[in-house]
Amino acid sequence: MTIQEQYELLEKTVRSYNPAADFDHIRAAFEYADRCHDGQKRKSGEPYIIHPLAVAQIVAEELKLDSESIEAALLHDVIEDTPATHEDVARLFSPTIADLVEGVSKLTRIQYATKEDEQMENLRKMLIAMSKDIRVILIKVSDRLHNMRTMEYQSPEKQKQKSLETMEIYAPISHRLGMQRIKWELEDLSLKYLDPVGYEEIITRLESKKAEYDAFLLRTQTQMDDRLNELAIEHMVYGRIKHPYSIYRKMFNQNKSLDEIFDLFAFRVLVDTVGDCYNVLGVIHDIYKPIPGRFKDYIGTEKPNGYQSLHTTVMGPDGLPFEVQIRTWKMHEIAEYGVAAHWKYKQHGQGAGTEGKYEWVRRLLENQEGADAEEYIHSLKVDMFADEVFVFTPNGDVQNLPAGATPIDFAYAIHSAVGNSMVGAKVNNRIVTFDHILKNGDIVEIMTSKSAKGPSRDWMKIAKSSEARSKIRQWFKKEKREENIAGGRSSFEQELKHAGLSMKDVTDSENLPHLLKKVSYGTLEEMYAAIGYGGFTAQKAVSRMKGELLRISRQHQAEELTVKPEEPPIPVPPRPMSKSEQGIIVEGLDNCLVKFSRCCTPVPGDEIVGFITRGYGVSVHRADCPNAAPERRAGQEGRWLRVTWGSDTNDSYPTTIDVVCKDRMHLILDISTALSSTNTFVSGLNSRSTEDGFAVIRLEIRVRDGAQMKAIMNKLHQISGVLQVTRPAG
């Protein structure tokens, strides 16, 4: 199909549902996009304009959106990938279309500390755009759908990365917007690249049983048709096999093969009125035996995304269970197209006003305040994917909560003040514990008291919804700042000790600004407060700081060993021996800063040499360190000087030992016992196994002198299976 034929198909599709659309503007948008993308190619080798045309076709065919959305879909990459600007699009088309295009454009890439931070920021931007105009995300999802349909042209790494992002973000968003058809296709296409073997197995098995399955579907459909026609109920019945990802998830969750999964089939009955829905339900339960506990009434209690339908699972005459969904035609349109269905009923192509139904978008934005990236993304997935449980207030108002919710979630869903002053809860008029799991139809009453002390920290573990956890965090953040700082500092220092780092390294005036930037806090006190109220974890703080301290250390080492050729050697005037610094006497220098090189970690008793660094005093190396080898000293003779151990050495010095041994059970236990018997302080232990059955263990320890070091190495040599004990250098 030529580009022109593709455009004509788009126009024909739009005319079929919106004959009043502004086709002059749509053509102008197509021609402008074509000019902007001229010369650009896709990975498949096709002209780039094929992609915007395909996205616009999805927006029209699948979602039936207004003229502005079609134009924005055609233009969605011009601001990102061509010289065109927001001002150009606003002037040539309209400010609304320019805003839609900018919202849909690939989100700006910023350097973040972690992948989670980047993903959270991109999600946050997307949600802000959604809360302003829901059409942004409808076009964005269509863009992702076409990219997934053409994913075979990407590298295997890109295929997996994009498929995982689609499964975790775009499919759940489509679900929450009620766009079931698109959600299913996104899930199936993602599965194809995430587990190609599993996907292919399901497709092959379904193909091999196609005739058998088709016969069952036709036979059951005819049974339903005949009975409903007898009762003169206007209807349409059709059956389908569940989509591959739905089958895959069932196989994975229940650890079953395809032959062991029986409810592969689903039937849908479409009728004219709500009354007919309930009449049909009675007929279906009369023809087939209903399976207890598998009936759901989403007409009486609709889902937050507007979905309404009756669901029941019944046992067919062949002994095969299958699901039947019963809904009106209008409910069906909303079930298939979700929020997009509302545009079909709008005049003049304006979609304003429907965003109010999607209050969950704003709630997600509010709930991320004070949460770290990983917690936010986890909350988002829970809020997007979770099945809902519908419970009632004593007045009969419905509250929908994530499955597994507790009275704490219910209390905070009513209001922050209700949650903060809660002292007890009743479910169906019986007092229950705070961790009681709520079920559909429960009537929940929260007991409050003005003298309540507020939430407990344990509530964070009990609450299921991100809304409740966010409000609990906010309470602790506001009410218990001093307590949070004290608790956070204690947790941080404990974790720091566990990682073998000292508080001195963190508070060092040179290191601190870099470390605070790494954890994204202005002061240590702010970070302690965040750890204290649960907005950040001590483990994450120490993990990021450890990496930054390692980077700073490497940078210093590189500076030590690099000298510019044009710089003359630094002369050191000969002077008599001076007093020691940290147990080190530097020949000819008094009161100079001394630091021990991390590449070889010298201890008293080792032969040592000194190197004058730029701005960091004298760095002390072991004489056998490769970084102090004679060939490395060439051209820098003036910066190497004689240093010796004094009589007033420190109580202990950090150093490192590498142990190579045959891998076996209880090896680490034996090494720990040996170190304990020699009263050795261990600040770090790292172990890895090799494919050929060996283990390499690095010990970071503190020792008084070389004699203690020798005793420790001898003790380690005596352990069964130990082949080599060395001190690394360089």
Q: Provide the annotated active-site residues.
A: 80-81
Q: Contact 144/150 with Cβ under 8 angstroms?
A: no
CB count in 10 Å sphere of residue 24: 8
Say how far apart CA 472 and CA 326 lie, in whole Å: 40
Say how far apart CA 622 and CA 376 lie, in whole Å: 48
Say how far apart CA 458 and CA 74 lie, in whole Å: 51
CB count in 10 Å sphere of residue 515: 22
Say how far apart CA 400 and CA 440 lie, in whole Å: 9
Q: What pairs with residue 173 in β-bridges?
A: none
Q: Contact 505/511 with Cβ under 8 angstroms?
A: yes
Token pair belonging to 713: 């190495």
Alpha-helical (H) ranges within 581-666 are 630-633
What values do phi and psi take at 591, rounded to 5?
A: 50, 35
Alpha-helical (H) ranges within 508-537 are 512-519, 524-533
Alpha-carbon distances of 368 from 124, 165, 403, 523, rounded to whole Å: 9, 19, 20, 21
Closest CA to 594 of 621, 566, 570, 573: 621
Is the alpha carbon torsion for 502, 503, 509, 513 positive or negative?
positive
Any idea which residue has 């019945």 for tokens? Answer: 237
Closest CA to 376 of 280, 293, 248, 473: 473
Say how far apart CA 251 and CA 275 lie, in whole Å: 37
CB count in 10 Å sphere of residue 229: 11
Residues 6+ apart with CB under 8 A from 233: 271, 276, 279, 280, 283
Closest CA to 145 of 176, 173, 107: 173
Residues 6+ apart with CB under 8 A from 704: 603, 604, 649, 651, 652, 653
Say how far apart CA 44 and CA 527 lie, in whole Å: 48
Is the alpha carbon torsion for 191, 195, 198, 203 positive or negative?
positive
Alpha-carbon distances of 25 from 51, 52, 112, 432, rounded to whole Å: 19, 15, 40, 62
Q: What is the CA radius of gyration of the chain?
A: 34
Closest CA to 310 of 320, 324, 321: 324
Q: Quick check: helix, strand or coil at residue 111?
A: coil
Alpha-carbon distances of 624 from 268, 630, 646, rounded to whole Å: 80, 10, 20
Q: Contact 74/56 with Cβ under 8 angstroms?
A: yes
Say how far apart CA 105 and CA 140 lie, in whole Å: 8
H or E segment and range at residue 549: helix 538-560
Say how far apart CA 248 and CA 454 lie, in whole Å: 45
